[in-house]
Amino acid sequence: MHVLGIETSCDETGVAIWDSDSGLVWERLFSQIDLHAEYGGVVPELAARDHLQRLARMVEAALKEGPAPDVVAYTAGPGLVGALLVGAALGQSLATGRDIPAIGINHLEAHLLAPLMEPDAPGFPFVALLVSGGHTLLIEARGLGEYKLLGTTLDDAVGEAFDKTASLLDLPYPGGPALAKLAATSEGGRFTLPRPLLNRPGCDFSFSGLKTAALYAVKELAPDDKAGRAALAHDFEDAVVDTLVAKCKRALGMTGLDTLIVAGGVAANQRLRERLYELPDAQVRFPDAALCTDNGAMIAYAGWLRWNAGERRAYDVRARWPLDSLRPPSKEPHDG
Q: Residue 78: is the preceding peptide bond cis (ω within 30°)? A: yes
Point out the residue whose Cβ comes nearest to ligand KG4.
Answer: 265
Least distance between Zn ion and beta carbon 256 (Å): 29
Q: Is 205 in the site for ligand KG4 (CB under 6 A)?
A: no
What are 105's strand-pairing partners? 75
Site for ligand KG4 in 117-136 (CB under 6 A): 132-134
Query: Using an 8 Å Cβ cutoff, are 81 and 58 in contact?
Result: no
Q: Spell out, one character per residue from 8 to 37, where the chain touches ligand KG4: x when CB under 6 A holds, - when not.
A: --x---------------------------
Give the range of 97-105, 145-153, 260-268, 280-288 binding ligand KG4 by CB under 6 A.
260-268
For 116-211, list the strands marked E by DSSP: 126-131, 136-143, 146-152
Please choose which of ligand KG4, Zn ion, none residue 175 contacts, taking the beta carbon within 5 to 8 angstroms, the exact cut-off set by kind.
ligand KG4
* Closest C-alpha among 84, 117, 89, 31 to residue 321: 84
Q: For ligand KG4, which residue of 78, 159, 287, 329 counts as binding (CB under 6 A)?
A: 159
Q: What are phi and psi of 158, to 5 degrees?
A: -65, -40
232: left (phi over 0), alpha (psi -120 to 50) or beta: alpha
Nearer to Zn ion, 2 or 135 (CB): 135
Which residues touch 200 (CB under 8 Å, ≥6 apart)?
none
Element (H, E) at 104: strand 102-106
Nearer to ligand KG4, 73 or 131 (CB): 131
Distance CA 287, CA 111 (A): 9
Q: Is 186 in the site for Zn ion (CB under 5 A)?
A: no
Nearer to Zn ion, 95 or 131 (CB): 131
Nearer to ligand KG4, 52 or 266 (CB): 266
Q: Is 132 in the site for Zn ion (CB under 5 A)?
A: yes
Sign of CA dihedral 34, 316, 6, 119: positive
Q: Is 294 in the site for Zn ion (CB under 5 A)?
A: yes
Positions that interact with ligand KG4 (CB under 6 A): 10, 132-134, 159, 162-163, 174-177, 180, 264-266, 268-269, 293-294
